[in-house]
Chain A
């Protein structure tokens, strides 16, 4: 059962990683325009290089 000492922190760590990734997506406003973003990917406008800011 000693393996639990590693596995529990590892699984929690992975979960926290997922949570941090989600928090990042919320903070960077990736859910503001779900419909538009799903269609923007079809555009070939910025395929060669990213859009300059």
Chain B
């Protein structure tokens, strides 16, 4: 089939120009994933599913409201773009997701696995607990032994199945000769089972089967909570990554092929449409346009692009189509070279030890020593191996970190849930703890504090006749400045004049004829104006001096409130941008930031953050561009908006999902509160231990006391965590 297409292509010169895609892969039912951020109710589900199923070629479409996603089985000829159009017609925002990046099935399996273990542990612990109640309330002799044997028959297989995550984690820690929280847990479970079996065989009074199972159940509950929190964050983060489907249009023999970026080679000619991002480093071979470099350098002024200009991957093409010849692809592009800088910065970041790890480091050896001492003491005093082993097992069970296992996950689940509803995604498990310590906040300007969208400032300086002509010219162009000018003029009630022969000259502007005179709206040097430091478009009417329309980058919603809140809570604020001093100074004055740096290179930013860290400050870096990536990685904790480039989002710990900046200030407060709750939870768990351990060492810890201490401490800790909400 491929040959046929080529033959017909060669036979008919007219066909050559038409885009033809040759697919080597055999057709298979496409699994398309769409992100639907705006669905929220039953009516939306029905509408979306009905709309998608009615589309020809769609076999089956199902909406997942929890993940706000639709999965579609369709014929290979149905593309995601068709379905996005269908949904947009129905009034739903939809984005294509890369189904391979999502790998939903794998993560689902881990969650279901954990849930299954939790269910088995819950079932077994409840049954054994019921049998134990009979024993506690005074069953004796044969009945007690029978109940103990039944408990053993339930407990042994149940623990063998459900405690596997702890066994594995403890083994992996021990095999590298280290202790983690799971080592005392596993030791306690195994020792409890052995002594209980032994006691049962000797028809003894105390068996700890219920304690071993309840312990497993509570700890698994903590693990599952932790997993859920991370799964939600991970799936949303994958969704962001999957939003950028990396494809490029390669020109070969004047035919357009849409190919994955990974398949591009040096020397390829690549077509970049207006609004598209450069997939490779290269030189412009054909076409005129303007380039937006703000994500790479922080400068807001678009750069004029003509053949011969060097372009870097990541720059956005604004007006006209460009044909670029690749000089570096994939790992060699400047975009990827920045990644090396990030790696260096990350190695400089001091490795943060989480509160849970700190507690485990203190706790694990202490428990083992205490239990061993109790064993030795009782053995020397009574000379009875059985009593000594029983006491040692009781000490291990009582001190077992049931509440400690819940202390951190319960709080972080509650806090991340609260922040997720406000539009913040916590990517890293320890990010909240680190955020709580922050005393200095460093901001990037373009795209972070500002929306990255130009706004017209001097509308009132112009005569309404000029505005009408400018509006007519601006309406014909999709350039960001034109779009902004159109919006501002229409909002002010200006009507467009009748301008004829309107023609957009890519890279320069738009021109037309008005009452026989040539009118132009565009770059300063094209219409005869003098370019200034500020972003501007110029209007020229033949026979009159050119007029300047000035633009500034508008502030993001909530930015000034956030800065004020942060300053009130005593944090030091620093603004660092790669933009020109005038623009940075204006913004700093507007927001009341005293400390600002302009013209900073990526290295400058990272070095400044490292210097602040060395002075003992805990730095929060907020940035979105590639030029911020190294600084984001070097900071104690970092936040980037969802509009940021992939690399910046990967380097940061927290992603801000909405346009609004104010959640950042809230997040700092929530983080402080959450860390306080974690510490409180550790104190609660410690108090329980301080009361229960002497009882255990003295030999008074019956299985009943162990069960009571364990349950009450776990429940108190969970309730305390919920106060964060």
Is A10 an interface residue, CB under 8 A from the partner?
no
Is B150 an interface residue, CB under 8 A from the partner?
yes
Which residues in B have their C-beta under 8 angstroms from that of A26?
A: 112, 115-116, 119
**Which one of B46, B63, B126 lies within 8 Å of A45 (CB-CB)?**
B46
In contact, B150 and A8 (Cβ under 8 angstroms)? yes
In contact, A33 and B66 (Cβ under 8 angstroms)? yes
In contact, A32 and B116 (Cβ under 8 angstroms)? no
A25 → chain B closest CB, angstroms:
10
How far is A8 from B127 in the complex, measured between Cα atoms in Å?
10
Is B146 an interface residue, CB under 8 A from the partner?
yes
Please encode chain B, from 110 to 153, with 1 for each CB lying within 8 Å of some chain A CB and 0 for all others: 00100110011001001100100000000000010010001000
Is A40 an interface residue, CB under 8 A from the partner?
yes
In contact, B66 and A32 (Cβ under 8 angstroms)? yes
Count of inter-chain pairs, beta carbons less than 8 A = 55
Q: A33-B64, A40-B45 are in contact. Are A4 and B146 (CB under 8 A)?
A: yes
- Residue ID in chain B nearest A9 by CB atoms: B150
How far is A32 from B62 in the complex, measured between Cα atoms in Å?
12
Please encode chain A, from 3 to 44, with 1 for each CB lying within 8 Å of some chain B CB and 0 for all others: 010001001100110110011001101011111100110110
In contact, A39 and B127 (Cβ under 8 angstroms)? no
Is B690 an interface residue, CB under 8 A from the partner?
no
Q: A33-B64, A33-B66, A33-B67 are in contact. Are A39 and B45 (CB under 8 A)?
A: yes
In contact, A32 and B127 (Cβ under 8 angstroms)? no
Which residues in B have their C-beta under 8 angstroms from that of A12?
A: 127, 150, 154
Q: A19-B119, A22-B119, A34-B66 are in contact. Are A4 and B143 (CB under 8 A)?
A: yes
In contact, A43 and B65 (Cβ under 8 angstroms)? no
In contact, B115 and A31 (Cβ under 8 angstroms)? yes
Which residues in B have their C-beta under 8 angstroms from that of A15?
A: 123, 126-127
Which residues in B have their C-beta under 8 angstroms from that of A31?
A: 112, 115
In contact, B45 and A35 (Cβ under 8 angstroms)? no
Q: A36-B45, A39-B42, A43-B46 are in contact. Are A11 and B143 (CB under 8 A)?
A: no
In contact, B143 and A18 (Cβ under 8 angstroms)? no
How far is A38 from B181 in the complex, measured between Cα atoms in Å?
38
In contact, B42 and A42 (Cβ under 8 angstroms)? yes
How far is A15 from B119 in the complex, measured between Cα atoms in Å?
11
Which residues in A have their C-beta under 8 angstroms from that of B100?
A: none
Is B108 an interface residue, CB under 8 A from the partner?
yes
How far is A33 from B63 in the complex, measured between Cα atoms in Å?
9
How far is A49 from B183 in the complex, measured between Cα atoms in Å?
55
Interface residues of B in 36-84 (CB under 8 A from A): 41-42, 45-46, 63-67
In contact, B65 and A33 (Cβ under 8 angstroms)? yes
Which residues in A have their C-beta under 8 angstroms from that of B63?
A: 36
- Residue ID in chain B nearest A37 by CB atoms: B65
Q: A19-B120, A39-B41, A45-B46 are in contact. Are A32 and B65 (CB under 8 A)?
A: no
**Which one of A19, A32, A35, A36 lies within 8 Å of B123 (CB-CB)?**
A19
Q: Which of B42, B67, B150: most chain A CB closer than 10 A?
A: B42
Which residues in A have their C-beta under 8 angstroms from that of B123?
A: 15-16, 18-19
How far is A27 from B119 in the complex, measured between Cα atoms in Å?
13
How far is A15 from B126 in the complex, measured between Cα atoms in Å?
9
How far is A43 from B45 in the complex, measured between Cα atoms in Å?
9
How far is A18 from B119 in the complex, measured between Cα atoms in Å?
10
Which residues in B have their C-beta under 8 angstroms from that of A19?
A: 119-120, 123
In contact, A43 and B42 (Cβ under 8 angstroms)? yes
In contact, B42 and A40 (Cβ under 8 angstroms)? yes
Which residues in B have their C-beta under 8 angstroms from that of A27?
A: 112
Interface contacts beyond A26-B115, A33-B67: sample of 8 additional A-B pairs, CB < 8 Å, sorted by A = A12-B154, A19-B119, A19-B123, A26-B119, A27-B112, A36-B45, A39-B41, A39-B42
* Nearest 9 A/B pairs, CB to CB: A36-B65, A39-B42, A33-B64, A35-B66, A19-B123, A35-B65, A42-B42, A33-B66, A22-B119
Hey, which bits of chain A sit against chain B, CB under 8 A? 1, 4, 8, 11-12, 15-16, 18-19, 22-23, 26-27, 29, 31-36, 39-40, 42-43, 45
CB pairs A–B below 8 angstroms (20 shown): A11-B130, A16-B123, A19-B119, A22-B119, A23-B116, A26-B112, A26-B119, A29-B108, A31-B112, A31-B115, A32-B108, A35-B66, A36-B45, A36-B63, A36-B66, A39-B41, A39-B45, A40-B42, A40-B45, A42-B42
